[in-house]
């Protein structure tokens, strides 16, 4: 190849690279999904998705997060608060004690005594896991709001904790200047990960 021809090819390639760089540089920047979207209360979706909203109200998950003061009569912690699951032989009970709601699970031995008793405060029923509660959970809406991007859920959780600790979470910012955040992720069978971040 002659020197003039080589110089012309190099000049043409340089012009093509410059034109491509110019075109790429002119593209509008695409905001990241985290910047573009944030948690939306389900009531805001009701106007456009009325049928889905209406149907969802009839599934157990929708009713399981009813705040305790607004709970239906089935959640009466005085009388209708027990369930026996015959398949497992376990008894379940919801009760209120000291202003808190507890879930209790136990079995009955051959003498009628309660055994294998497990009791835990049902913090979600009192709003403790809300953004302004003492133990906020899923401040960005969790998997219900963000979907399940396989492999990226853990990173999304860590990103949310970083925003919270920096005070940059906007409308979903936990009040009170949080100092520690915790993420927990369960993956394929037998795989789990926990991250604890602090400042």
> d(Cα 20, Cα 15) in Å, to the nearest integer?
9
Half-sphere exposure of 40 (CA within 13 A, CB side): 11
- Mean pLDDT on 150-166: 87
Q: What is the pLDDT of residue 143?
A: 79
- pLDDT exceeds 90 at position 129: no
The model's pLDDT over 74-104, given as tens digits with 9 standing for 90+, comes to 566 777 788 999 999 999 998 888 877 889 9
State residue 130 phi and psi, 5-degree precision: -70, 165
Give helix then strand counts, H and E, for the chain. 7, 6
User: CB-based contacts of 119: which residues, under 8 Å, 6+ apart?
Assistant: 102, 103, 104, 105
The model's pLDDT over 16-61, given as tens digits with 9 standing for 90+, comes to 666 666 665 665 555 554 455 554 566 677 778 788 777 766 665 5
Q: What is the pLDDT of residue 34?
A: 47
Q: Which residue has the higher pLDDT, 125 or 82?
A: 82
Decide: pTM greater than 0.75. no
Q: Comparing 44-58, 60-74, 128-142, which segment has the lowest mean pLDDT?
A: 60-74
> d(Cα 72, Cα 119) in Å, to the nearest integer?
22
As beta bridge partners, residue 115 has 107
Residue whose entry in the numeric block shows the structure tokens 């003498």: 111
User: CB-based contacts of 112: which residues, under 8 Å, 6+ apart?
Assistant: none
Q: What is the pLDDT of residue 84?
A: 93
Q: Comparing 1-15, 65-79, 90-104, 172-186, which segment has the lowest mean pLDDT?
A: 65-79
């Amino acid at each position: 190849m002659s020197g003039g021809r080589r110089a012309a090819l190099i000049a043409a390639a340089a012009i093509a690279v410059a034109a491509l760089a110019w075109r790429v540089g002119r593209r509008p920047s695409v905001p990241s999904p985290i910047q573009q979207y944030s948690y939306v209360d389900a009531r805001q979706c009701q106007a456009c998705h009325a049928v889905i909203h209406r149907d969802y109200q009839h599934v157990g998950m929708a009713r399981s997060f009813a705040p305790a003061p607004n709970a239906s009569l089935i959640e009466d912690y005085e009388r209708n608060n027990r369930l026996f699951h015959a398949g497992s032989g376990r008894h379940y009970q919801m009760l209120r004690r000291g202003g808190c709601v507890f879930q209790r699970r136990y079995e009955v031995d051959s003498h009628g005594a309660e055994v294998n008793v497990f009791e835990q405060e049902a913090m979600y029923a009192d709003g403790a896991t809300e953004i302004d509660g003492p133990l906020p959970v899923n401040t960005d809406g969790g998997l219900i709001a963000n979907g399940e991007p396989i492999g990226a859920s853990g990173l999304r959780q860590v990103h949310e904790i970083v925003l919270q600790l920096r005070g940059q979470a906007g409308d979903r910012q936990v009040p009170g200047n949080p100092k520690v955040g915790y993420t927990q992720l369960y993956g394929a069978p037998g795989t789990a990960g926990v991250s604890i971040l602090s400042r």
